[in-house]
Amino acid sequence: MPVTASTMLAGRIYQWNYFLFLGAFTQCPLR
């Protein structure tokens, strides 16, 4: 189903963006 593939892709993008945001937020105070 295309809907499932789209949902999985959106989930991966959201997960990557969350990790990148979390990493940037964590590194900011350390510097």
pLDDT tens-digit series, residues 6-21: 888 888 998 988 888 8
**Rounded Cα–Cα distance for residues 20 and 10 (Å):** 15
Q: What amino acid is encoded at 18 in this protein?
A: Y
| Confidence check: pLDDT of 31 > 60 | no
Q: How many residues does the chain have?
A: 31
Which pLDDT score is estimated for 28?
62
| Confidence check: pLDDT of 5 > 80 | yes
DSSP string for residues in the chain: -HHHHHHHHHHHHHHHHHHHHHHHHHHHHH-
Which pLDDT score is estimated for 29?
60
